[in-house]
């Protein structure tokens, strides 16, 4: 059941499923990506903020130490810094050498002894960033420089004289950052959805719609047997789809031409080009029904050739075929476009004449007999001709006469004329 449902999906449905899946994946993945970006951004901002604050604190402390401020005055400055910015906890630890030269500092001694991060920073003089779920701790070692040796005469260049320890709560950064990232994330999702929607619409217009039109055209051709129907490519269609439509139209034109040829072969006599007996019978029944329904005249003329057999016997069938073609031309040239000329036997022809009364039919029969008699057919060095006995009959709508009776009367009229001609020649 699932397989049948999948197989029955259209291209448009597949595009919609893919579009929806991508949109859902983007929406589902956004919180994960945003969370990752938030953590990375918090670390970068916290590190930058702590480094900036440490440098400011160091610059400030260095300036007051050069002025000769006492340890208690320096501690007061640090307290004021913490009170000024309650989001940060700033501490300054002295090295053992500085404490020995300028006086003991219990918090520094305790940190050197009990805090492994502080102890390691004093040992290698490297900056450290220690992250936790709620805060970022940044340790900034104060290395002895040339300008420091004038006061710290027991220190060597590059020794760690102290450490500025700053703890920065990350929640202070997370709140505005989270709002910014989420807004940007949803903006990204909205942009992605809009982009995929635009892509979906373009694919429907450029690919799905042309295929649907091709399918609808094929269905119309099958349902209505209309081989003349064509697909009209649009200017916005891709070149490949337009090529498919052009090839389809070419195929349909060839198919229509082949069908027309087959149709003509099925209703035409192969030798003379006249309609055959099958087409004559079909047209006769149709015209008879119309004549009876609307009370209109309808006539039939049967033509039987005279002196045709001797031509076949003496000059051969090729000569007989040439004569039959000539007779067909003479008949077609002397009837109306609404009349139908058919070859219904070896040397027998029939003319179906709608809207033709009895007098008109007899006059037409006489005209056709004369036209055939006057027709000269060139065959090699010969000029061949035949005669024609033409019998006419007219349908009487009021009597309810059928086509069989109509044809029988025309046949009788034709043989009456043929008998009279034989008697006349005798």
d(CA 21, CA 190): 15
CA distances from 127 to 110, 173, 229 (A): 20, 21, 81
The pLDDT tens digits of the residues spanning 384-423 come to: 999 999 999 999 877 778 899 999 999 999 999 988 887 7
Query: Mean pLDDT over residues 209-215, rounded?
Result: 79
The residues carrying an active-site annotation are: 347
For the chain, give the mean pLDDT: 81
Specify the higher pLDDT residue, 58 or 333: 333
**Alpha-helix residue ranges (DSSP H) falling in 204-271:** 209-224, 239-267
Q: What is the pLDDT of residue 37?
A: 67
pLDDT at residue 373 above 60?
A: yes
Specify the higher pLDDT residue, 225 or 362: 362
Q: What is the pLDDT of residue 321?
A: 94
Q: What is the pLDDT of residue 247?
A: 86
At residue 15 the predicted structure's pLDDT band, cuts being 50, 70 and 90, is low
Specify the higher pLDDT residue, 122 or 49: 122
Q: What is the pLDDT of residue 11?
A: 61
Q: Which of 20-29, 106-115, 160-169, 362-371 has the lowest mean pLDDT?
A: 20-29
Specify the higher pLDDT residue, 109 or 87: 109
d(CA 92, CA 49): 17
CA angle 288–291–294, rounded 5-degree value: 145
pLDDT at residue 255 above 80?
A: yes
d(CA 106, CA 112): 10
Q: What is the pLDDT of residue 127?
A: 86
Please provide the DSSP assignment of 259-298 as one string: HHHHHHHHHB-TTT-SB-HHHHHHHHHHHHHHHHHHT--E
Query: Mean pLDDT over residues 265-276, rounded?
Result: 88
Q: What is the pLDDT of residue 205?
A: 77
CA distances from 235 to 232, 262, 270 (A): 10, 36, 45
> Would you state the structure tokens that stand for residue 105, as one six-digit string?
């500092």
Strand (E) or helix (H) holding 349: strand 348-354
d(CA 323, CA 380): 12
CA distances from 154 to 99, 132, 243, 251, 357 (A): 11, 37, 90, 101, 144
Strand (E) or helix (H) holding 311: helix 308-315
Please, are residues 241 and 206 in contact by the beta-carbon 8 Å criterion?
A: yes
At residue 176 the predicted structure's pLDDT band, cuts being 50, 70 and 90, is low
At residue 134 the predicted structure's pLDDT band, cuts being 50, 70 and 90, is confident
Q: Which of 8-17, 40-49, 110-119, 264-273 has the lowest mean pLDDT?
A: 8-17
3-class secondary structure, 10:
coil
Q: What is the pLDDT of residue 302?
A: 96
Specify the higher pLDDT residue, 30 or 245: 245
Query: Mean pLDDT over residues 300-328, rounded?
Result: 93
d(CA 38, CA 178): 7
Specify the higher pLDDT residue, 247 or 353: 353
């Amino acid at each position: 059941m699932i397989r049948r449902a999948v197989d029955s999906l259209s291209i448009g449905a597949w595009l919609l499923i893919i579009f929806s899946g991508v949109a859902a994946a983007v929406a589902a993945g956004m919180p994960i990506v945003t969370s990752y970006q938030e953590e990375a951004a918090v670390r970068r901002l916290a590190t930058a903020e702590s480094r900036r604050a440490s440098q400011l604190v160091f610059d400030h402390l260095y300036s007051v130490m050069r002025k000769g401020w006492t340890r208690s005055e320096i501690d007061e400055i640090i307290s004021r810094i913490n009170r000024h910015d309650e989001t940060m906890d700033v501490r300054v630890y002295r090295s053992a050498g500085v404490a020995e030269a300028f006086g003991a500092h219990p918090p520094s001694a305790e940190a050197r002894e009990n805090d492994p991060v502080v102890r390691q920073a004093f040992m290698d003089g490297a900056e450290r960033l220690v992250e936790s779920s709620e805060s970022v701790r940044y340790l900034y070692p104060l290395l002895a420089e040339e300008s420091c040796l004038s006061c710290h005469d027991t220190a060597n260049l590059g020794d760690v004289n102290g450490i500025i320890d700053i703890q920065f709560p990350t929640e202070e950064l997370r709140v505005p950052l989270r709002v910014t990232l989420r807004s940007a994330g949803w903006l990204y999702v909205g942009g992605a959805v809009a982009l995929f929607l635009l892509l979906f619409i373009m694919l429907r217009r450029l690919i799905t719609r042309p295929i649907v039109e091709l399918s609808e055209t094929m269905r119309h051709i099958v349902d209505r047997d209309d081989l003349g129907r064509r697909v009209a490519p649009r200017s916005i269609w891709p070149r490949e789809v337009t090529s498919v439509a052009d090839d389809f139209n070419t195929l349909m034109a060839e198919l229509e031409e082949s069908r027309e040829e087959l149709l003509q072969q099925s209703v035409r006599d192969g030798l003379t080009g006249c309609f055959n007996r099958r087409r004559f019978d079909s047209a006769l029944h149709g015209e008879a029904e119309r004549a009876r329904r609307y009370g209109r005249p309808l006539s039939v003329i049967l033509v039987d050739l005279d002196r045709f057999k001797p031509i076949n016997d003496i000059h051969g069938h090729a000569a007989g075929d040439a004569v039959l073609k000539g007779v067909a031309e003479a008949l077609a040239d002397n009837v109306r476009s609404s009349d139908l000329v058919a070859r219904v036997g070896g040397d027998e022809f029939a003319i179906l004449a709608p809207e033709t009364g009895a007098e008109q039919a007899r006059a037409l029969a006489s005209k056709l007999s004369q036209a055939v008699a006057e027709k000269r057919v060139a065959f090699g060095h010969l000029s061949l001709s035949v005669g024609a006995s033409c019998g006419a009959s007219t349908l009487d709508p009021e009597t309810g006469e059928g086509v069989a009776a109509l044809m029988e009367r025309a046949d009788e009229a034709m043989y009456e004329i043929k008998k009279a001609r034989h008697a006349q020649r005798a």
